Amino acid sequence: MVESQPSKLLVAGSIPVSRSRVLQLAVPSFADVAQLVEHSLGKGEVTGSIPVISSSLRQATNERVERGSPVDGSERMSQATYKQAVIEIQNKEVFEELRGALDRVFAASAVERFLKRLENKGLSIRSFEAVLAKQVLEQLDEPLARSGKKAADLYQALPMSDRGLMREHYLTAIEAVEERLREKYSKIYRYY
């Protein structure tokens, strides 16, 4: 019969050392671990899941080490550069028509009317599809209303990649609304 005993490897003197702290100091980052695994599996041509970040982190870390500066995870992450993948718009005409309506509704002179309309309809601002279904854009954007087109139909006419870009554009716009208005209409900004 083997009696299990707690490991004494992670004990410094009589004060146990946190496992997560030891791992944090011993393992530079999850990306580096993934690269080591990929290399050991014979996938040396793979530089990592996100090569831009990986190489930026490694370069920043090497520069700090060369200067004799301490390197910890938070400093490396703050130096990482992220590049968003460029997704080409497939249906440019419809995309621009819908984006134009959104941009006019989110213009500084018009956005409060939009927020008030959402509040009156009991809609969450984060529910883009519900905003489209309730025809809020048609009610507030005169060029869209005059065209006789519905924002929901324009959105549905877009391929999935364009819909994703449009949704991202909308979500970016709602977060760019000035803080004073976001506080005033905090009910529609709630996540629940």
More confident residue, 157 or 3: 157
How does DSSP assign the chain, residue by residue? -PPP---STTEETTEEPPHHHHHHHH---HHHHHHHHHHHTT-TT---SSHHHHHHHHHHHHHHHHHT----HHHHHHT----PPP---SSHHHHHHHHHHHHHHTSTTTHHHHHHHHHHHT--TT-HHHHHHTTHHHHH-HHHHHHT--HHHHHHHS-HHHHHHHHHHHHHHHHTS-HHHHHHTHHHH---
**For range 59-74, the mean pLDDT:** 58
Nearest to 175 by CA among 120, 128, 125, 123: 125
Q: What is the pLDDT of residues 93-122, one digit of tens each?
A: 999 999 999 999 999 999 999 999 999 999
Q: Chain-wide mean pLDDT for the chain?
A: 76
Q: What is the pLDDT of residues 1-15, one digit of tens each?
A: 555 555 444 444 444
Contact 60, 76 (CB under 8 A): yes
In this prediction, residue 85 carries a pLDDT of 73
pTM summary value: 0.57
Q: What is the pLDDT of residues 35-61, one digit of tens each?
A: 555 555 554 444 444 444 444 555 555
**Residue ranges of domains in the chain:** 11-78, 92-189
